[in-house]
């Protein structure tokens, strides 16, 4: 009887040990087996409908037609154009060139995809303020999004600036 008891104790002990070991092994390399993302490796697009704190609704790229219909809430004034120009020089010149003429006028553009001439009268006529605002905030086909670097308000200022350099 005594041996049966000891045998049972051993069996239960072995089972518990094996179970524990399985947990420890799995737990031990959970961190190395999990898909992980290195900082800066990927840009996460905001899920649709997300409203940032102190911000406003960001219409995703896929709904550009919706964004294109938004009216420009920022009046065209010298002050607005000046802010727009200042932000343009900071964020856009590397690709679009100092005069927004596109092609390979920007430092980055020589190594990137040549940008369109934003002063082009035909393009200026085709695009609404909302469309360009959306382009700046959520990006284009290859153009990066600037929604995190610029406020929505600043993007409207840039649109006003771009309108001011339109070819007549």
**CA 101 → CA 33, 44, 78, 151, distances in Å?**
49, 30, 21, 24
Q: CB of 64: closest distance to ligand HEC in angstroms?
A: 10
Where does this chain bind ligand HEC (CB under 6 A)? 88, 91-92, 94-96, 108, 112-113, 115-116, 118, 123, 127, 132, 135-136, 140-144, 146, 158
CB half-sphere exposure, 115, CA atoms < 13 A: 26
CB of 146 to ligand HEC, least distance (A): 4
> Cβ of residue 21: shortest distance to ligand HEC, in angstroms?
52
Question: What residues contact 99, with CB distance under 8 A and at least 6 apart?
Answer: 105, 119, 165
The smaller minimum CB distance to ligand HEC, of residues 46 and 163, is found at: 163
| Residue whose CB is less far from ligand HEC, 81 or 95 | 95
Rounded to the nearest whole angstrom, what is the least distance from the CB of residue 165 to ligand HEC in the complex? 11
CA distances from 157 to 15, 27, 77, 119 (A): 69, 52, 9, 16
């Amino acid at each position: 009887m005594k041996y049966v008891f000891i045998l049972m104790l051993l069996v239960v002990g072995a089972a518990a040990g094996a179970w524990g070991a399985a947990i420890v092994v799995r737990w031990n390399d959970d961190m190395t087996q999990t898909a992980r993302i290195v900082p800066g490796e990927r840009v996460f697009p905001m899920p649709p409908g997300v409203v940032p704190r102190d911000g406003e609704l960001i219409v995703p790229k896929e709904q550009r037609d919706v964004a294109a219909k938004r009216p420009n809430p920022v009046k065209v004034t010298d002050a607005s154009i000046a802010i727009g120009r200042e932000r343009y020089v900071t964020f856009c010149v590397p690709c679009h060139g100092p005069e927004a003429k596109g092609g390979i006028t920007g430092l980055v553009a020589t190594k990137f995809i040549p940008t369109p001439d934003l002063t082009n009268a035909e393009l200026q006529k085709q695009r609404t303020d909302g469309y360009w605002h959306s382009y700046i905030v959520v990006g284009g086909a290859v153009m990066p999004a600037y929604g995190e670097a610029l406020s929505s308000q600043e993007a409207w200022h840039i649109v006003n600036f771009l309108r001011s350099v339109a070819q007549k």
